[in-house]
Amino acid sequence: MSGKRILVTGGAGFIGSHLCEELLKQGNDVICVDNLFTGQKNNIRHLMKSDYFEFIRHDIIENVYVECDQIYNLACPASPIHYQYDPIKTSKACFIGSLNTLGLAKRCGARILQASTSEVYGDPEIHPQPESYRGCVNTIGIRSCYDEGKRIAETLFFDYHRQHKVSIKVVRIFNTYGPRMRADDGRVVSNFIVQALRNQDITIYGDGKQTRSFCFVTDLVDGMIRMMNSREDFTGPVNLGNPGEFTMLELAEMVIKLTGSKSKIIYMPLPEDDPAQRKPVIDLAKKELNWEPTINLEDGLKHTIEYFRKTIDI
């Protein structure tokens, strides 16, 4: 039992709720701050029964005053349709939200972990992507609010570390999936599973040859907690993701097979700046955190399909 007081911003979201659950299980006192933009009370309802869990509905664009030992900063919409809904707000959540949580970490002397993303690599010219790759990001496109937002957040983290000696940790998360993704989230795994379960057309954007690497959420949460508790002088950034690489066509076919669906695949226009390929190099996480994913895509999809079968109208 580690018994720390831990703040999780974005804790009612998909990844955040799994993180809060695991931190509670490990004997911590967890404070979840979330404005419920994409997060849902349903994700954390089961945690609210615990005396060691508190939920605060709050927007991290405004300062938050709590005392804590550690902060996980996840508050930011992550699905393209959600972060593009109000792109200025997305930039603010990344910039002002990070500034506010870093200020809190400085005041409390708390260690703070940033949920950064593989999107900082943009549409990468180097494959697979190691942490040393500096990325290829469009500054003015429709994904820029998120990509550049996450990049400035990394910059703020490292400046608070150098200038104010704040103890920081930065993880670059690659595509993560699992139970508690929203059915209307718009990301590829939830879209394909929901479409397949409803026997609706499976919507592939572009020719389906673009690749992604998918990490099951429990593996990711394990990596995040290991990173938070790693040695003081290891700041990252460190990639956390599953190096298994799949085309969207392969993913669609796997989902159809695992659901036994009658859905047909249809092709739709590729969104602007959609990265062609993405796969993490995870040597650093293996070496520093003794971490690597344990759940392969087929098994992770089975768990996720089971979740959606129980929770959506079919």
Q: Name residue, tokens 């509905």.
A: 57
Select the span of 71-79, 194-202, 279-287, 288-296 touching ligand NAD (CB under 6 A).
Answer: 71-79
The residues near 282 (Cβ < 8 Å, ≥ 6 apart) are 239, 240, 241, 243, 291, 292
- Among ligand NAD, ligand UDP, none, residue 39 binds (CB under 5-8 Å by kind): ligand NAD
Query: What is the per-residue binding string for ligand NAD in 4-33, x denoting contact by CB under 6 A?
Result: -----xx-xxxxx-----------------
Please select the residue that binds ligand NAD; options are 8, 23, 30, 75, rule is CB under 6 A.
75
Residues 6+ positions from 280 with CB-CB distance below 8 Å: 118, 128, 129, 172, 174, 213, 239, 240, 241, 242, 243
- Asked if omega into 179 is within 30° of 0 (cis), the reply is no
Which residue of the set 72, 83, 121, 146 is catalytic? 146
* Residue list 156-195, contact with ligand UDP (CB under 6 A): 175, 187-188, 191
**Under rule CB under 6 A, residue 15 binds ligand UDP:** no
Sketch the per residue contact string, 236 through 265, with ligand UDP: x for CB under 6 A, - otherwise.
------------x-----------------
The token pair at 105 is 């970490």
Indicate whether 129 belongs to the interface with ligand NAD (CB under 6 A): no
Q: Which does 15 bind (CB under 5 to 8 A by kind): ligand NAD, ligand UDP, none?
A: ligand NAD
- Is the bond leading into 237 cis (omega within 30 degrees of zero)? yes
Q: Is 133 a known active-site residue?
A: no
Count Cα atoms within 13 angstroms, Cβ side, for 11.
27
Judged by CB under 6 A, the number of residues near ligand UDP is 14
Measured CA distances, 232 to 28, 85, 157, 161, 235 (Å): 20, 38, 15, 11, 7
Residue placing its CB nearer to ligand UDP in the complex, 98 or 195: 195
Give the active site residues. Answer: 146
